[in-house]
Amino acid sequence: MEGSETHDQAHVLVVPYPVQGHINPMLQFSKRLVSKGVRATLAVTVYLSKSMHMEPTGPIEIDTISDGYDEGGSAAAESFEAQQMNLQVVGSRTLHSLIQRLDESGKPVHAVIYDGFLPWALDVAKECGKLGVVFFTQTCAVNNIYYHVKKGLVELPLKGPRVSFPGLPPLDPSETPSFIYILGSYPAIYNMVVDQFVNVEDADYVLFNTFYELEKEVADWMNSNLWPLKTIGPTVPSMYLDRRLEDDRDYTLNLFKPNNDACASWLGRKPPRSVIYVSFGSMAELPAQQMAELAAALSHNRHRYNFLWIIRESEMPKLPLEFIKSTSEDECGLILPWCSQLEVLRHDSIGGFLTHCGLNSVLEAICVGVPLVAVPQWTDQPTNAKYVEDVWGTGLRARPNKDGLVGREELGLCIEEVMEGEKGKVIRENVKKWKNLAIEAMDEGGSSDRNIDEFVAKLSSSCK
């Protein structure tokens, strides 16, 4: 890393929402800042600091705040509402103390970079006299929808056949985030996602983990009509992009333990582009019937394509026993609870990625050039999947049937098309194009790199 410490070095305290898909991009952004001479401390919850699998985080210092569940973790909360309340109350108090402690220990904090899901962190930053910088981990498109909902600029429930939001293509209501089109499905999460905008006008900077070229129309609209925003992504480790940060190969903090050896030796025995990688990320819970349909699709295809399916331990009981047994006896398939996803995706045996379309997964697939089969589950995933298929052209959406499940035939056809069909060829070309644009954005002088430089310059001048 290029970063070197000086007396008036800017110091940022980075506070992600405590889940994998938010820690990854905010930790990565911290690494970028450090490479440009900023000092960065990442605050995770006490519970996560004890339970995470940590590789050395290099120049990023790790410190803690509390969400009120230091012993059992948030799984011990009686409800999501209670968990959110504790995170805000105990989180605010302990963030305040952490800032004071850092200030007093000769490492004064100049700015708090907080996750959009934690708008109360801006109040704490202001109380402590610090700059407040909001970091959005979802796309501009998704956040523009939430913004319109929060400000009452769109009538709910959404009425089809098409709804429009400025800067976005016309959307079927089912292509908006699930909390919006299935109103009342998760009221506490709905409140959290729309409340990201309660105080955004007071933030000193607004950052998005996306890149300008990927979301030009909507980013321009938001920039001109809402608030100045800076696109600073994708925050995928540098060695998969511009390769300027030599030590930056991995996310380094894992909530689950990756099984790298088993994975690498199995992938190493597979021919190029013969494996479909399947993962629904760190949180999605699939209905057992959906798992069965997917298992049937993978089994049916098993002599054509190999599969690596990541199934977290808590999801394993939903898998048909027969499928587990046949997979363990057969070299064509491997089921693991977690892996180093980027390492897997870049392996030349991977031909496609069947994904829930969490934004990190979608961006990672672009950066390593892998085409997608999109099987969105909830939250922002349906909107990401719409963009994957219709705007970016980096994958195909597998469509659910009238019962809301994606059937085995549909899954099988989409896998086949992406792995070796005519549409798959076009998708591969599109992915290549986006991959190059993502590299350019992060490379010296690219759109994200310039935005980061500008941000660093403002930070540095504020601490002189």
Residue 447 lies near ligand UDP (rule: CB under 6 A): no
Burial class (CB in 10 A: 0-12, 13-18, 19+), 156: exposed
DSSP 103-149: HHTT----EEEEETT-THHHHHHHHTT-EEEEEE-S-HHHHHHHHHH
Spatial distance between the Cα atoms of 391 and 433, rounded to a whole number of angstroms = 13
- Answer for the pair 368, 386: CB distance below 8 angstroms, yes or no: no
Single out the residue of 71, 72, 70, 127 nearest to residue 95, CA to CA. 127
Question: Which of these ranges, 38-46, 112-120, 145-153, 275-283, lies near ligand UDP under the rule CB under 6 A?
Answer: 275-283
Which of 249, 304 has the CB closer to ligand UDP?
249
CB-CB neighbours of 440 under 10 Å: 18
Strands 372-374 vs 11-15: parallel, antiparallel or unpaired: unpaired
Among 102, 359, 365, 459, binds ligand UDP (CB under 6 A): 359
Spatial distance between the Cα atoms of 233 and 139, rounded to a whole number of angstroms = 10
Q: Residues 360 to 379: which contact ligand UDP by CB under 6 A?
A: 360-361, 364
Radius of gyration of the chain (CA): 22
Tokens of 53: 């699998």
Sequence length of the chain is 464
Question: Which of these ranges, 47-55, 266-274, 353-361, 393-401, lies near ligand UDP under the rule CB under 6 A?
Answer: 353-361
Among 91, 116, 233, 281, binds ligand UDP (CB under 6 A): 281
> Minimal distance in Å, beta carbon 72 to ligand UDP?
21
> Minimal distance in Å, beta carbon 177 to ligand UDP?
13
What residues form DSSP beta bridges with 354?
A: 278, 373
State in Å, rounded, how far the first CA of the chain is from the last one. 23
Question: Which of these ranges, 71-79, 279-287, 405-413, 427-435, lies near ligand UDP under the rule CB under 6 A?
Answer: 279-287
Helix, strand, coil shares of the chain, percent, nearest 5, are: 45, 15, 40
> Minimal distance in Å, beta carbon 257 to ligand UDP?
10
Residue 358 lies near ligand UDP (rule: CB under 6 A): yes
* Residue 382, helix vs strand vs coil: helix
> Minimal distance in Å, beta carbon 342 to ligand UDP?
6
Looking up tokens 């909902």 gives: 149
Q: Residues 317 to 346: which contact ligand UDP by CB under 6 A?
A: 338-342
Binding string to ligand UDP for residues 14 to 33, with x set by CB under 6 A, is what?
------xx--x---------
> Minimal distance in Å, beta carbon 32 to ligand UDP?
16
Residue 208 carries which side chain, given as an amino acid letter?
F
Which of 20, 41 has the CB closer to ligand UDP?
20
Residue 84 lies near ligand UDP (rule: CB under 6 A): no
Question: Which of these ranges, 2-10, 222-230, 281-289, 385-393, lies near ligand UDP under the rule CB under 6 A?
Answer: 281-289
Which of 26, 124 has the CB closer to ligand UDP?
26
* Residue 230, helix vs strand vs coil: strand
Which of 365, 459 has the CB closer to ligand UDP?
365
> Minimal distance in Å, beta carbon 224 to ligand UDP?
28
Which of 283, 413 has the CB closer to ligand UDP?
283
Spatial distance between the Cα atoms of 93 and 100, rounded to a whole number of angstroms = 11
| DSSP assigned state of 398 | P
Residue 264 lies near ligand UDP (rule: CB under 6 A): no
> Minimal distance in Å, beta carbon 29 to ligand UDP?
13
Residue 283 lies near ligand UDP (rule: CB under 6 A): yes
Count of residues engaged in binding ligand UDP, rule: CB under 6 A: 19
Q: Which residues bind ligand UDP (CB under 6 A)?
A: 20-21, 24, 279, 281-284, 310, 338-342, 358-361, 364
